[in-house]
Amino acid sequence: MLVLNVGSSSVKFRAWVLGPAGWQLDCRGQLAGIGTAPVFRVWRAGCDQPADDTPYGPIDDAATAVAHVADWLEARLGAGRVSAVGHRVVHGGPRHADPVVVTSEVLAGLRELVPLAPLHQPACLDGIEAMARRWPGVPQVACFDTAFHRGQPEVASVLALPAHVRQAGVQRYGFHGLSYEYIAAQLPRVAPDVAAGRVIVAHLGSGASLCAIHGGRSVDQTFGMTPLDGLCMGTRPGSLDPGVVLFLLRELRLGADEVERLLYGRSGLLGLSGISADVRDLLASDAPAARLAIDYFVYRAAREIGALAAVLGGVDALVFTAGIGEHSPEIRARISAACAWLGVSLDPDANLEGRTVISARSSRLRVFVIPTDEEHTIAQHAARLAGLPPLTGVAGHRWAGSTAPARPGAGS
């Protein structure tokens, strides 16, 4: 069973093999640098170093990258052995509240959502089509980053626009749902005393968001209709006055495509600092603009934690996850310090070491670091919908090399 996470510049994958003891994780990897300098890396289960670390020639699109991944998997595992492919699809729109087996009708409907996620959606769908051509007849399952947030109260998803606009699908959807679904499933194991309570999860990476979860269900989150809203991100600005877009169009005379490239690729931490979209680079820099970018990133996160605390009517726990959340003690410490009014207090040693529980004994809120695993969530859904044996005994599984591709600036 294969899970694919296809982005505009990389293809990440993970493969499981079914044996007598059930599904066993075989390998994970990524082909990064699509359109620039592609490099293919694979970590096999139990290995700290990449089994393959190969520069490729030009690869200009996601479909070609997926074909390279398929070539490697067939050489390793043999042709004709793939039983199902699970895909991360960023936007499910108003129709999809659950994962679904991909059909031509489903694919056509998802193509209609490209304007809602122009940076992410086309690559996801190109990957699905490439797999269908490569392995026709193999079930493909689309798992949506928006699905976990469906069922939120109407006041959390509606936008204050006329009815004819809302009827066109204009609403708040939310993203990173596969990550939040995984964390919600892990909380009963990691922290049963707060799993049914009020939890704010901070998914902090190059894409960043927060989610308010009560009783394991999404109540509200920081994204909007598209992945541009909410927190400051690596190259995306987060919340923005709509008048800014009008100003860019009318006064600066930027075209719509130019505005799209600006908002998706040249804003956020990169735009503020003028140096890098990577938190590691900015923390290491003495440049005032780098400090401003980090200060703003922390400020926005703390501000939105306060807003979600109000939505929940109080908070029992705060969870950090994803590339920055899992790997940057300094960012965790700074956000926690800004939330001291909520009763957040960290154990400095636990935070520095990245333990599961990093709150001090005196803290009113329990604070956790829980590594996310979107691929595991996708694999669970793919196995179920393809009629395969369920994944058991691998939830929360950490294996040598599993965090190798991650970095403090990583995340989608």
Higher pLDDT, 120 or 23: 23
**What is the distance between the alpha carbons of residues 26 and 359, in angstroms, rounded to a whole number?**
35
What is the secondary structure of 223-273 as a DSSP string? --SSTTSSS--SS---S--HHHHHHHHHTS---HHHHHHHHHHS-HHHHHH
pTM of the model: 0.91
pLDDT at 378 over 80: yes
Answer whether CATH 3.30.420.40 is correct for domain 193-369. Answer: yes
Range of lowest pLDDT (58-67, 155-164, 294-303): 58-67
pLDDT of residue 406: 38
SS3 for 196-226 is CCEEEEEEECCCEEEEEEECCEEEEECCCCC
Active site includes 145? yes
pLDDT band at 54 (very low <50, low <70, confident <90, very high): low
Percent of the chain with pLDDT over 70: 92
Put residue 322 in one of left, alpha, beta given phi > 0 → left and psi -120 to 50 → alpha: left
**Please, which pLDDT band fits residue 64 given cuts at 50, 70 and 90?**
confident
- The predicted pLDDT at position 40 comes to 86
CB atoms within 10 A of CB 310: 12
- Using 50, 70 and 90 to split pLDDT, how confident is the model at 60? confident
Looking at residue 198, what is its pLDDT?
Answer: 98
pLDDT at residue 21 is higher than 70: yes
Which of 12-16, 112-116, 285-289, 390-394 has the highest mean predicted lDDT (pLDDT)?
285-289
Q: Where are the domains of the chain?
A: 2-144+375-385, 193-369
* The pLDDT of residue 396: 39
Q: Is the pLDDT assigned to residue 403 strictly greater than 90?
A: no
Reported as a pLDDT band with limits 50, 70 and 90, residue 80 is confident
- Please tell me the predicted confidence (pLDDT) of residue 298: 98
Q: From residue 42, give the alpha-carbon distance in Å to each of 26, 30, 39, 97, 177.
A: 10, 7, 10, 32, 26
pLDDT of residue 363: 97
pLDDT band (50, 70, 90) for residue 43: confident
Fold type of domain 2-144+375-385: Nucleotidyltransferase; domain 5 (3.30.420)
Q: Determine the 3-state secondary structure of 52 from DSSP.
A: strand
Q: Which two tokens stand for residue 248?
A: 């860019």
Band of pLDDT at residue 297, cut at 50, 70 and 90: very high
Q: Residues near 407 by Cβ (< 8 Å), separated by ≥ 6?
A: 278, 280, 323, 327
Q: How confident is the model at residue 401 (pLDDT cuts 50, 70, 90)?
A: very low
* Residue tagged active-site, from 26, 145, 220, 229: 145
